[in-house]
Structure 1
Amino acid sequence: MRTARTSLRSRIYSVLRHAILLTGGVVMLFPFIVMVSTSLKPPSEIFSPTFTLLPQEWYAIENFREAFTRVPLARFILNGLLVGATIFLFQALFALPCAYALAKLRFAGRQMTFVLVILALLIPPQVPAIPLYIGMWQLGILDTYAAIILPSTISVFGIFLMRQFFLQIPDDLIHAARIDGLSEFAIVWRIMLPTAIPALTAFAILSFVWNWNDFFWPLIVIQSEHLATPPLGIVFFDNAEAGTNYGPLMAGAVAITAPLVIAFLVAQRRFLEGFAMTGLR
């Protein structure tokens, strides 16, 4: 009797848990569902007093054609890919040796350095915006790709994430590499990098999503439309449309969101594996 009662209680908890998760998922996905639905409708249905999820008249081709012709949407997407990939390459270049030093090397001030890394995670990106802007102005690189890329080339979160991963790697592997005559930098790039691919993939997705969606910094340093990243490009699109033609506007939003969804679906297994192996929850 007690076993049956316990089993029934466990099933009820399981049903409630899945119901809560399903409800939360629907709430989070609903704005994206409305965005896709709006991108498929003609103006008459968008402004109709009755809402329908599927359009009665499919207007997707017209909306997406206007989205890509009204503003250089393809250029905005290309800018986002270029900026995101370049920033991640520099972040990985700095994060791997820094994380290796914090995880595997013994030197004076190592713990204090790691504490500073943790503290740096607490600083909002808006705090150093004015000094960074002044620095970009003094270098004469405002309104260029470099102005977008340079402030994000070092990621303290990337250093923290990779350090947590390197802590899981046995020290015997590093000692064996040193016995074989490898330098510390050679160990980083020939031993640690191949083993860190899962964590590096997880960090790559987070870095790409963050920099793809970043609106604050490009808005400050970019004035030319042809240099705009995807979120800033949506602003240009909104100005061009005067905020009334929501079909092409939502079509542009769908086109800008699609690369993020595709990237996550392609690397989903590596993403989850990377976080599992770093010990983060």
Structure 2
Amino acid sequence: MKRFRFSLRTVSRHGFLAITTAFVVAPFIWMVSLSLKPPEEIFQGSFSLLPQSWHATQNYSRAMTASPLPRFMLNGVLICTIILALQILVCAPIAYALAKLKFPGRHVLFTLVLVSLLIPSQVLALPLFILAYQLGLLNTYAALVFPFIVSPFGIFLFRQFFNTIPDDIVHAARLDGMSELTIVWRIMLPMAIPALIAFSVFSVVGHWNDLFWPLIAVRSQELMPPPLGLMAFRNEDTGIDYGPLMAGSTIVVAPLVIVFVFAQRWFIEGLTSGGLK
């Protein structure tokens, strides 16, 4: 009886996960399906996952030529790389200070970090826009980067991971004459590789898909990241060209899927494990 109950719970759990996974994956499958179809099949009343006549070459070639999609992709890579590098450069020392250093107000500062996690980024859009205007940063790469240099989530994640690393390791490094910053970069961060990879995935996915802030901060097509660049397929006179739009969306999403597939083991470990086995 116990074995039967255990099997029933296992089947129910996996069934629930399969259903929720289907809801999550279905839009992406439908996006790829539409990217392979001609316009007349996209708007037909009957449902078919595979196209009757393949239109993939036309859709994907138009997605690459109708707008400078390779330029948008390059902008996305550049912006996400700069943001991630600056976030690690700023967040790791702050997280180390909150985790391993004793100073007045440490718990208050960590509370402020937790509170900042509850504030939607859109709330700060207006003051950030005014600040960028006053600094003359609008319509530049700097405008797409500077609001995200400090990541409260990055501070929180690194701080929680650093807390699991024994203090004896830090004390031994200090006895060897290492400075606090040297300890961060040569001791703490290498031990926090799973957390680093997990944060990198969150950061890259979040800023690669960001549309709200780039829509405000830049106007030049040469600076547009991928989500903003895909809006080039929207035409108020002729309507939206859905085939190339879905093809472009598939091209934009593909790098994120590939990165997650290769990094999923470290991603899960970074969210669930500690600093030492």
Determine if the alignment matches structure 1 residue 106 to structure 2 residue 102: yes
Match for residue 25 of structure 1 among 21, 27, 30? 21
CA separation in 1, counterparts of 2:22 and 2:4?
27
**SS of the residue aligned with 1:173?**
helix
Partners of 1:240 and 1:233 in 2: CA distance:
16
Match of 1:263 in 2: 259
- Partner of 1:106, secondary structure, is coil
Q: Which amino acid aligns with 1:173?
A: I
| Structure 2 runs not aligned, ≥5 long | none
Summarize the alignment of residues 45-194 of structure 1 with structure 2, pairs less than 5 Å apart: 45-194=41-190
Please give the TM-score of this superposition, normalised by the length of structure 1. Answer: 0.94
Select 1:217's aligned residue among 209, 213, 217: 213
One-letter amino acid of the counterpart of residue 268, structure 1: Q
**Cα distance in 1 between the residues matched to 2:53 and 2:126:** 49
Q: Distance in 2 between matches of 1:185 and 1:242?
A: 57
Measured in 2, the distance between the counterparts of 1:249 and 1:225 equals 17
Could you say if the C-alpha distance between residues 237 and 47 of structure 1 is closer, same or farther in structure 2, counting changes exceeding 3 Å? same
Deviations 1:119-152 (A, max 9, x none): 1111111122111111111111100110010010
Which of these residues, 204, 207, 210, is aligned with residue 208 of structure 1? 204
- In structure 2, the residue matched to 1:34 is 30
Q: How many Å separate the matches in 2 of 1:124 and 1:29?
A: 26
Measured after TM superposition, the shift of residue 44 of structure 1 is 2.1
- The reply to whether residue 226 of structure 1 matches residue 222 of structure 2 is yes
- For the residue of structure 2 that corresponds to 1:54, the secondary structure is coil
**Distance in 2 between residues matched to 1:93 and 1:110, nearest whole Å:** 20
SS in 2 for 1:38: helix
Moved more, 225-234 or 99-108: 225-234
What amino acid is the match of 2:273? M
Matched with 2:231 is: 235
- Give the structure-2-normalised TM-score: 0.96
CA deviation after TM superposition for structure 1 residue 47, in Å: 1.9
Q: Alpha-carbon deviation of 1:278?
A: 4.9
CA distance in structure 2 between the aligned counterparts of 1:251 and 1:19, rounded to whole angstroms: 32
Note the C-alpha offset of 1:242.
4.2
Per the TM alignment, residue 240 of structure 1 is displaced from its structure 2 partner at its CA by 8.1
How far does the alpha carbon of each residue in 1:162-190 deviate from its partner, in whole angstroms, 9 at most, with x for none? 00000010111111111110111111111
Matched, 1:277 2:268: no
For 1:76 and 1:112, locate their aligned partners in 2 and report how far apart those are by CA, in whole Å: 41
Structure 1 gaps of 5+ residues are: none
SS of 1:162's partner is helix
Per-residue CA distance 1:242-278 (angstroms, 9 max, x = gap): 4332111100010011011011011111101111125
Name 2:248's counterpart in structure 1: 252
Do 2:79 and 2:141's aligned partners in 1 also have CA atoms closer than 8 Å? yes
The alpha-carbon distance between structure 1 residues 181 and 242, as it changes in their structure 2 partners (threshold 3 A), is: farther
Conserved in 2, the CA contact under 8 Å of 1:161 and 1:278?
Answer: no
* C-alpha contact 1:225 1:236 (8 A) present in aligned 2: no
Measured after TM superposition, the shift of residue 206 of structure 1 is: 0.1
Q: Structure 2: which amino acid aligns with 1:53?
A: L
CA contact (8 A) 1:199 1:271 kept: yes
The count of corresponding residues between Structure 1 and Structure 2 is 275
Percentage of identical aligned residues: 54
